[in-house]
A and B are shown apart, each in its own frame.
Chain A
Amino acid sequence: AQTVTQSQPEMSVQEAETVTLSCTYDTSESDYYLFWYKQPPSRQMILVIRQEAYKQQNATENRFSVNFQKAAKSFSLKISDSQLGDAAMYFCAYRSPTNFGNEKLTFGTGTRLTIIP
């Protein structure tokens, strides 16, 4: 079974600075998908970014980017120019490869990010 580990329960960053959230995972599969989801105080889970394991290029979405190290099974999220609205719980998630879409997400325990004005 796959496992996802987030070793930083809490992180804080000054507004406008850069912060990196860590995630490692364990799998025997060679192809898979990795995600970062954001959960603000409203509790809704919002997709931040996605990475396909077969792609060597790191995914980027505006101020959010990942550092995907397949051999190390590491998938960190970098948030540049942090904004107050980035304050949330961030979950790393793993999904097995499938052509059918019915594979579950396996989540890490989350990192609570605080933005300091």
Chain B
Amino acid sequence: EPEVTQTPSHQVTQMGQEVILRCVPISNHLYFYWYRQILGQKVEFLVSFYNNEISEKSEIFDDQFSVERPDGSNFTLKIRSTKLEDSAMYFCASTTGAKNIQYFGAGTRLSVL
């Protein structure tokens, strides 16, 4: 069964460093998302992406965040200058749109020291 793949599974970085989290969505999917889950808290929406542009973003998704689909398969989330509070599990999701089911990857745990 096709699945959403995220790499790395765990990323450790120093505060102020840039990180790129990578996702390979399911191949025929057209809509892509990033969500964040701080330990012990609920899953929060960050951004949705369609047709090579952001379709919606939350207030969490400030100028330090960016997304792109550089090569038609990968979907990346970049954090330019990480803060301690960016430590969280980051989930990528994708959907065809038609069936409205978002399929999630296994997540990347980001630890900012």
A residues near B (Cβ < 8 Å) are 33, 35, 37, 42-47, 50, 91, 95, 98-110
Please determine whether B55 and A102 come into contact, CB atoms closer than 8 angstroms: yes
CB pair A102 B43 closer than 8 Å:
no
Contact status A102-B42, CB under 8 Å: no
Contact surface of B with A, Cβ cutoff 8 Å: 30-31, 33, 35, 41-45, 48, 50, 55-56, 58, 89, 91, 93, 95-98, 100-107, 109
**Which residue of A has the minimal Cβ distance to B106?**
A44
Partner of B101 from the list A50, A104, A107, A109 (CB cut-off 8 Å) is A50
Interface of B is mostly: strand
- Residues in A with CB closer than 8 Å to B100 are 33, 50, 95, 98, 101
Interface centre among A35, A43, A99, A110 (most CB of B within 10 A): A43
Q: Whole-angstrom distance between the alpha carbons of A96 and B15 in the complex?
A: 36
Q: Which of B44, B55, B56, B98 is close to A107, meaning CB atoms less than 8 Å apart?
A: B44
Complexed CA–CA distance, A35 and B89 (Å): 20
A42 contact set on B, CB distance < 8 A? 106
Interfacial chain A residues near B97, Cβ < 8 Å: 99-102
Is A101's CB under 8 angstroms from B104's CB?
Answer: no
